[in-house]
Amino acid sequence: MKHANKKNYEFFIAKRYLKTKRKGLFAIITTIIAITGVAVGVAALLTTLAVMSGFQNDIRSKVIGAQSHILLFGQMSEKKYKNYQKEIEQLKKVSATAPNIYGQAILNYNQNSIGVVIRGMDTKQEKNINNLHKSLLAGSFSNKKNDTPWVVLGEELAFNMGIDIDDNIILISPKSMSSGAGVIPKMKKFRVSGLIKTGYYEFDNSMAYMSLKDSADFMGIPNQITGIAIKLHNLDDAQEVKNQIREIVGNYYVIRTFEQLNSTLYAALKLEKVVMFIILSLIILVASLNIASNLILLGTEKLKDIGILRAMGAKPKNIKKIFLYEGFLIATTGIFSGIALGFLLCFIIDKTNIISLPGDIYYITKVPIKIGLTDLLYVVFGSYALCFLAALYPAIRASKVEAVDAIRYG
């Protein structure tokens, strides 16, 4: 076919086929269904990924707001940890550090007991690490009323145990102490000075915060700590800074980034997102099969045209291109209509309270939305790939038609 001087005539023909009236109502309906199916699938996939990314981002901000970016574990003396703090804070990508004491205990109140995680901290230094001080619902990280050591409990923990501010609780340490009656568990009375709500259930249901000194005395490690919390200027530098800290402290201590500390949670969120992506991609796959059936019908309708094109010199690859372009145009119309619909749905969900959530379960009242560029690209290229595969068979089928047969039976 002597059209070498005309660039991409295959695309021109494909566009004309899409715009011209098709024979029969069924052919028109299949085209509409193909476009609508792809659009709905893309919109559903984009909206779902945006919601899941929103939840993931929200949970991540809550976890980081109550933790540090990096945590150095290991029992060390006051002199040693202060030297380590000084060296670590000299790293360019480190924003601040704070000493911590982590331990376990049994909380006893009104003859009810529950296991808790003790977190001792220097309240002044801790403000530079996370947002715990902003998460206080009531009370304070201090004890101004009496000499009883203070403790701040997670709101969910306090609610489940029926504890309120100014109540006295008993904490029982796993470390025993000797007495005239033999070896007994170490017990100490604390006054609840405040309640905290981080928005992350695992923390709010298990954490008991107290001063560094009181936690050291309670755990039986006076003038010592069990960890150093580290905050970075940029969260993405966590692994690099972890390696730098390893050079400072050696191999004796355990170092964990925030992702490693919450690896199970992040793995579950990622797996859930992948599973939803696969399930919703099946909707697009089913819709793309409509593209295949539409192109097969088109091949039957335009059989005579194919014969004429072949007689004029068009090669099988040119015929194949025409049908692939036709599939591409249908896919493009459906995909970008779906993206527009998806953005509209995300906007409505984000700006209105059309989907409300129970705050006592999710700690948020509306669905969080975050449309990531990576997710958008996955949706676009994934949809194009599925539609291309669907269009491939009809295109190959049409390209194998001989000119004489096509003109005779077209």
Per-residue pLDDT of 297-321, as tens digits, reads: 877 777 777 777 777 877 888 888 8
pLDDT of residue 308: 77
pLDDT digits (tens, 9 = 90+) for 348-364: 988 887 777 665 565 56
| Same-domain status, 92 and 220 | yes
| Same-domain status, 137 and 184 | yes
CA dihedral 41, 42, 43, 45 (to 10 degrees): 80
- 3 within a domain of the structure (yes/no): no
| Same-domain status, 121 and 50 | no
Residue 251 makes CB contacts below 8 A (sequence gap 6+) with none
| Same-domain status, 101 and 169 | yes
pLDDT digits (tens, 9 = 90+) for 380-395: 999 999 999 988 988 8
- 90 within a domain of the structure (yes/no): yes
| Same-domain status, 138 and 272 | no
Provide the 8-state DSSP code for 147.
Answer: S
pLDDT of residue 284: 85
Rounded-to-integer distance, Cα 221 and Cα 243, Å: 28
Q: State which of 211, 237, 258 marks the end of a domain.
A: 258
pLDDT band at 2 (very low <50, low <70, confident <90, very high): very low
Q: Which domain holds residue 78?
A: 69-258
pLDDT digits (tens, 9 = 90+) for 253-309: 999 998 888 888 778 878 888 888 888 888 888 888 888 888 888 777 777 777 777
| Same-domain status, 114 and 206 | yes
- 99 within a domain of the structure (yes/no): yes
pLDDT digits (tens, 9 = 90+) for 65-97: 788 899 999 999 989 999 999 999 999 999 999
pLDDT band at 145 (very low <50, low <70, confident <90, very high): low
The structural domain count of the chain equals 2
Q: Roughly how many angstroms between the first and final C-alpha of the chain, as a whole number?
A: 20
- 4 within a domain of the structure (yes/no): no
| Same-domain status, 126 and 235 | yes
pLDDT of residue 349: 86
| Same-domain status, 55 and 88 | no
| Same-domain status, 148 and 292 | no
Please state, rounded to an integer, the average pLDDT across all residues of the chain: 84
Pair of tokens at residue 299: 């091949």
User: 216: closest CA among 97, 120, 151, 74?
Assistant: 120
Q: What angle (nearest 5°) sits at the alpha carbon of residue 214, between those of residues 212 and 215?
A: 65
Q: State which of 213, 228, 258 marks the end of a domain.
A: 258
Rounded-to-integer distance, Cα 310 and Cα 2, Å: 12
- 2 within a domain of the structure (yes/no): no
Contact at 8 Å (CB) between 147 and 168? no
| Same-domain status, 126 and 193 | yes
| Same-domain status, 252 and 273 | no
Contact at 8 Å (CB) between 186 and 218? yes
| Same-domain status, 360 and 405 | yes
Q: State which of 201, 230, 258 marks the end of a domain.
A: 258
Residue 274 makes CB contacts below 8 A (sequence gap 6+) with none
Stated pTM of the model: 0.69
Give, in order, the Cα–Cα distances in Å from 33 to each of 284, 291, 301, 357, 401: 12, 9, 18, 34, 27
Rounded-to-integer distance, Cα 403 and Cα 410, Å: 10
pLDDT digits (tens, 9 = 90+) for 153-177: 999 999 999 999 999 999 998 776 6
- 124 within a domain of the structure (yes/no): yes
